[in-house]
Amino acid sequence: MLKRKPISTVLWAAALAGLVAAGCGGPKPEQTSQPSESAPPAEGGSANRPQPTAAGNKAEGDTLKIGIVVPINGDQKPWGDDALNGAQIALEDFNRQGGIAGKKIELLIGDSGSNTEQAKSAAEKLISDGVLGIIGDVTSSSTIQIAKSAFEKGVPVISIGATNDDVTKQGANIFRVCYIDTFQGQVMAEFAYKDLGLRNVALMTDRKQAYSVGLSNSFRKHFEQLGGKIVGEEFYETKQTTFTGQLTNLKAKNPDGLFLSGYFPEVGPIVKSAKAAGLNVVPLGGDGWDSKEILNSGGEAVVGGVFCNHYNNKDTRPQVQHFLKRWREKVGGIPGTTMAALGYDAMAVMLDALKRSKSFDSKSLTEAIEATENFPAVSGDITLKGTNGNPIKRALVVEVRPLPEGFVMRKAIDPKDIGK
């Protein structure tokens, strides 16, 4: 009995798999063509985004449903909670100002659980529950998943914090309220080269975050175009605790600036340990830095660092001050991350479009979002008309000062000023 070789078992398995394959391919040839009905997202060409073919959802009765997909579980919870609170405040504000006559707006919450697969499940659930549009997610990788589902169903998406360039290429119904990594990298490259006079910059990239990889690539490209030199790039992963190995390598390359494209929980300790390793550099970064906590985690070492941000809480624009006042009332303190303001903005843009929408269905809502022009949002005036879903708005360069001051705005850079 035991003489039969295990290899025959493997063969048997393969045969069965073959049978399975044959059995499936046979009876249902017509189903193979079905998935191709929805055109695959166009590759490359950013100018012409594919139009969704599906009609999307229609409002029934007096309730208008809007969905939000953010991580309220898992390791991205801080960003998700802030975005959700921001969006809820925006909804309250909208209702206080009268809302939409005769209609009640209902916010359905989907948990992306800090996981792309769950983000997609949550978005698909919301779409089948009949939401007219979706807000979310805070990260690019989850938003791409949401966008794929929403494109098939023709439901518009306004992303909160997905800065990766490819996100809005998924379809003509995908928008965002944040700027894109290419722009952010360009802003920081120009500021580092021209205003700070840096010529040799080293990069530290969080290999686990699509955001960080994209931002580092953009910075590298633009900084080298300007004539600067990237002297070295080292990698780490989110939740890593020691960075001395990478920093010792970079110290040997003698950079005068250190571009940290990751999120603040790692950036603070990296900056601190860079100083301890004897690196005398200007720390630079993107909007992942925006949290008051970086002043604590980076300590004295992060003072003098500059990063690119969406808004600044010392900004005197009425929208910013109103938002901060409402945040204090509802949540308390000041927002922990930049996603609070962006969540507010995403919701506000969505609601504004809903108000202007000709009828209450996904298609008209998409058109109304597309028509957004100079909407006064917390993070600046947002225009989405003819921009392929990427808002034209300014970016702020912010310097980190010791505590009573906090983040001080250094320069507001408009997209049209760039490259001069």
Report the site for another protein in 350-389 (rule: CB under 8 A). none
Cβ pair 255, 231 in contact under 8 A: yes
C-alpha separations of 136 from 11, 177, 221, 398 in Å: 47, 10, 28, 25
Question: What letter represents residue 218's amino acid?
Answer: S
CB of 374 to another protein, least distance (A): 25
- Note whether 40 binds another protein by CB under 8 A: yes
- Note whether 30 binds another protein by CB under 8 A: no
Task: Tell me the CA end-to-end span of the chain in Å, nearest whole number.
Answer: 82
- The bridge status of strand 395-400 relative to strand 407-413 is antiparallel
- Note whether 190 binds another protein by CB under 8 A: no
Question: Which residues within the stretch 256-315 sit at the binding site for another protein (CB under 8 A)?
Answer: 256, 264-266, 268-269, 272-273, 276-278, 291-293, 295-297, 299-300
- Note whether 111 binds another protein by CB under 8 A: yes
Question: Which residues within the stretch 66-85 sit at the binding site for another protein (CB under 8 A)?
Answer: 72-75, 77-78, 81-82
- Note whether 252 binds another protein by CB under 8 A: yes
What burial class does residue 227 get, using C-beta atoms within 10 Å of its C-beta: 0-12 exposed, 13-18 middle, 19+ buried?
exposed
Q: What is the 3-state secondary structure (H, E, C) of 68-81?
A: EEECCCCCCHHHHH
Spatial CB neighbours of 18, under 8 Å, sequence gap ≥ 6: none
Cβ pair 145, 119 in contact under 8 A: yes
Cβ pair 185, 165 in contact under 8 A: no
Which residue in 151, 179, 223, 236 binds another protein (CB under 8 A)? 236
CB of 356 to another protein, least distance (A): 25
- Note whether 7 binds another protein by CB under 8 A: yes
Cβ pair 162, 139 in contact under 8 A: yes
Cα 300 from Cα 318, distance rounded (Å): 32
Cα 382 from Cα 278, distance rounded (Å): 42
CB of 371 to another protein, least distance (A): 29
Spatial CB neighbours of 1, under 8 Å, sequence gap ≥ 6: none
For another protein, the closer CB: 292 or 326: 292
CB of 314 to another protein, least distance (A): 16
Stretch that binds another protein, among 36-44, 93-101, 359-367, 375-383 (CB under 8 A): 36-44
For another protein, the closer CB: 10 or 55: 10
- Note whether 21 binds another protein by CB under 8 A: yes
Closest of 251, 232, 59 to residue 155, by C-alpha? 59
For another protein, the closer CB: 197 or 376: 197
- Note whether 97 binds another protein by CB under 8 A: no
Which residue in 47, 101, 403, 416 binds another protein (CB under 8 A)? 403
The 3-state DSSP class for residue 253 equals: coil
Stretch that binds another protein, among 245-253, 316-324, 346-354, 382-390 (CB under 8 A): 245-253
For another protein, the closer CB: 173 or 372: 173
* Residues listed for the chain: 420
- Note whether 101 binds another protein by CB under 8 A: no
Strands (E), 37-103: 63-70
- Note whether 13 binds another protein by CB under 8 A: yes
Count of residues engaged in binding another protein, rule: CB under 8 A: 120
CB of 289 to another protein, least distance (A): 11
CB of 375 to another protein, least distance (A): 27
Which residue in 166, 190, 287, 345 binds another protein (CB under 8 A)? 166
Which residue in 59, 64, 144, 150 binds another protein (CB under 8 A)? 144
Q: In this structure, what are the phi and psi dihedrals at residue 157, rounded to the nearest 5 degrees?
A: -125, 135
Which residue in 214, 262, 305, 380 binds another protein (CB under 8 A)? 214
Cα 125 from Cα 159, distance rounded (Å): 17
